[in-house]
């Protein structure tokens, strides 16, 4: 692995003492010397870069989420090493920060190290896209967000316009974008129409509150989790920057746990964390903890290679030329459906034609109805 220490400053300026069962006993931090990072591990780092936010946020103090995280109890079944690489100091220019984040992220992912980035404004997700572009890998992004952050084609890259910036990149490596937690008052009709025309996915906050299972396949289908801290209800974190409606604290931890369990997710970012206090620092620490716990608890049942560990169901739709194949894991009872793509298409689509779904999609096909998720994926592949 290339030397990444040039991008970081230590995250903790003093050596702290912890009890045997606390996170501080197992987390390897950038204190004294930059750690040697092993493969199949997890690496946390922060990026206090807010120049992409239109509100010109200036931090008046430093978040203490690290100390809160280190005091949490560790789980005995954790096997992956966990590192805290420290803080990427914002560059002289915003593009310098993007460059550093992109290089660090691509290097970690290339060596099977799962980055956990604590931002910073949400436009930093553009640097994450660039990291996947360096690896020439198509990417699915799942945003936990109250808005779509589309902006306009004329907008500069920003925290509230990053998605359009991603779609306009050439080459563009964004294959799919899913939003969980959208609040309709913050979405313009033309933006919703555009999202629909691109066959992107939306699970509104009300739909999530009715049934979490509607959101779970989107988390399982993602490579990148993009969590806007302002999507959490303001009263939950004593924040003036958040909104009156949003996710409750236990819901955001539930989302983090399921995101971690997903075998496909290999990047987790928390953004727009600026209005911090004792409660919000504690919640951020819990969000990170639950994601790590999910990663450490993965089933490893993403159906690639041999399908011996799955039940296979084939459904022929009447009045059409479509046959849909479903797989159900023996281990986790989770479902996927297979969406064909033309043989002349590049092999980079191989990871995207097995789509996580719910049993309800199978039930819908059994009623001779085309699942919406299958059709949208088919349109993107063809």
197 in the same domain as 151: yes
Residue 147 lies inside a defined structural domain of this protein: yes
205 in the same domain as 134: yes
Residue 302 lies inside a defined structural domain of this protein: no
| Cα-Cα end-to-end distance for the chain | 37
Query: How many structural domains comprise the chain?
Result: 2
The CATH number of whichever domain residue 236 belongs to comes to 3.40.800.10
**178: helix, strand or coil:** strand
327, 330, 333, 334: CA torsion to nearest 10: -40
Q: CB-based contacts of 309: which residues, under 8 Å, 6+ apart?
A: 301, 303, 329, 330, 331
Residue 301 lies inside a defined structural domain of this protein: no
Residue 65 lies inside a defined structural domain of this protein: yes
Domain-ending residue, one of 261, 296, 331: 296
95 in the same domain as 199: yes
Residue 304 lies inside a defined structural domain of this protein: no
User: What stretches in the chain show pLDDT beneath 50?
Assistant: none
Domain-ending residue, one of 296, 320, 337: 296
Identify the helix (H) or strand (E) that includes residue 279: helix 278-296
List beta partners, residue 311: 328
Which structural domain range is residue 372 located in? 310-381
Cis geometry, peptide bond prior to residue 171 (ω within 30 degrees of 0): yes
374 in the same domain as 314: yes
Pair 130, 102: CB distance under 8 Å: yes
210 in the same domain as 84: yes
Beta strands 224-228 and 139-144: pairing type? parallel
CA 279 – CA 119 distance, rounded (Å): 18
267 in the same domain as 365: no
Q: CB-based contacts of 18: which residues, under 8 Å, 6+ apart?
A: 24, 25, 70, 71
215 in the same domain as 167: yes
Pair 229, 209: CB distance under 8 Å: no
Task: List the structure tokens of 182.
Answer: 């959208």
Pair 177, 143: CB distance under 8 Å: yes
Pair 148, 195: CB distance under 8 Å: yes
Dihedrals phi, psi of 312, to nearest 5 degrees? -115, 130
Residue 96 CB neighbour total at 10 angstroms: 13
SS3 per residue for 57-115: CCCCCCCCHHHHHHCCECCCCCCCCEEEEEEECCCCCHHHHHHHHHHHHHHHHHCCEEE
Residue 16 lies inside a defined structural domain of this protein: yes
Pair 86, 8: CB distance under 8 Å: yes
Domain-ending residue, one of 257, 273, 296: 296
53 in the same domain as 187: yes
CA 88 – CA 94 distance, rounded (Å): 12
* pLDDT at res. 142: 98
Residue 305 lies inside a defined structural domain of this protein: no
Closest CA to 178 of 221, 233, 132: 221
Residue 290 lies inside a defined structural domain of this protein: yes
How confident is the model over 57-84, as pLDDT tens digits? 767 567 889 999 999 998 888 999 999 9
List beta partners, residue 180: 144, 203
368 in the same domain as 337: yes
Pair 123, 84: CB distance under 8 Å: no
Residue 156, burial from CB neighbour count under 10 angstroms (0-12, 13-18, 19+): exposed
Pair 329, 112: CB distance under 8 Å: no
DSSP code at position 247: B
280 in the same domain as 181: yes
338 in the same domain as 228: no
Helix, strand, coil in percent for the chain, rounding step 5? 35, 20, 45
CA 252 – CA 262 distance, rounded (Å): 16
Q: Which residue has the tokens 């996915």?
A: 201
320 in the same domain as 292: no
Residue 304, burial from CB neighbour count under 10 angstroms (0-12, 13-18, 19+): exposed
Sheet order of strands, 323-329 included: 310-316, 323-329, 335-338, 354-357
List beta partners, residue 347: none
* pLDDT at res. 200: 95
């Amino acid at each position: 692995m290339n030397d990444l220490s040039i991008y970081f400053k230590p995250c903790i300026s003093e050596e702290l003492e912890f009890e045997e069962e606390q996170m501080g006993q197992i987390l390897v931090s950038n204190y004294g010397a930059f750690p040697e990072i092993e493969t199949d591990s997890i690496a946390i780092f922060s990026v206090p870069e807010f120049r992409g936010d239109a509100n010109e946020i200036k931090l008046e103090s430093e978040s203490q989420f690290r100390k809160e995280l280190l005091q949490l109890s560790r789980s005995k079944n954790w096997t992956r090493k966990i590192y805290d690489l420290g803080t990427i100091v914002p560059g002289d220019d915003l593009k310098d920060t993007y460059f550093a984040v992109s290089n660090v992220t691509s290097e970690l992912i290339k060596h099977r190290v799962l980055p956990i980035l604590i931002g910073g404004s949400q436009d930093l997700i553009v640097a994450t896209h660039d990291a996947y572009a360096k690896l020439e890998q198509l990417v699915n992004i799942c945003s936990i967000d109250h808005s779509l952050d589309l902006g306009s084609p004329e907008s500069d890259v920003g925290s509230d316009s990053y998605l359009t910036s991603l779609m306009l990149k050439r080459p563009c490596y964004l294959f799919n974008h899913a939003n969980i937690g959208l609040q309709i008052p913050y979405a313009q009709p033309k933006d919703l129409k555009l999202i629909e025309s691109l066959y992107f996915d939306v699970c509104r906050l009300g739909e999530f509150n009715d049934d979490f299972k509607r959101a779970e396949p989107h988390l399982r289908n993602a490579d990148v989790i993009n969590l806007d801290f302002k999507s959490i209800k303001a009263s939950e974190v004593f924040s003036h920057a958040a909104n009156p409606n949003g996710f409750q604290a236990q819901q955001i931890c539930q989302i983090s746990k399921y995101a971690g369990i997903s075998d496909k997710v290999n990047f987790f970012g928390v953004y727009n964390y600026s209005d911090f206090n004792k409660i919000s620092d504690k919640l951020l620490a819990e969000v990170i903890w639950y994601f790590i716990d999910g990663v450490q608890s993965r089933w490893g049942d993403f159906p690639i290679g041999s399908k011996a560990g799955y039940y296979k169901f084939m459904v022929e739709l009447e009045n059409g030329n479509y046959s849909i194949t479903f797989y159900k894991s023996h281990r986790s009872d989770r479902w996927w459906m297979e969406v064909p793509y033309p043989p002349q298409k590049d092999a980079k689509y191989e990871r995207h034609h097995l789509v996580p779904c719910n049993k309800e999609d199978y039930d819908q096909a059994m009623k001779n109805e085309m699942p919406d998720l299958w059709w949208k994926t088919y349109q993107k592949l063809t």
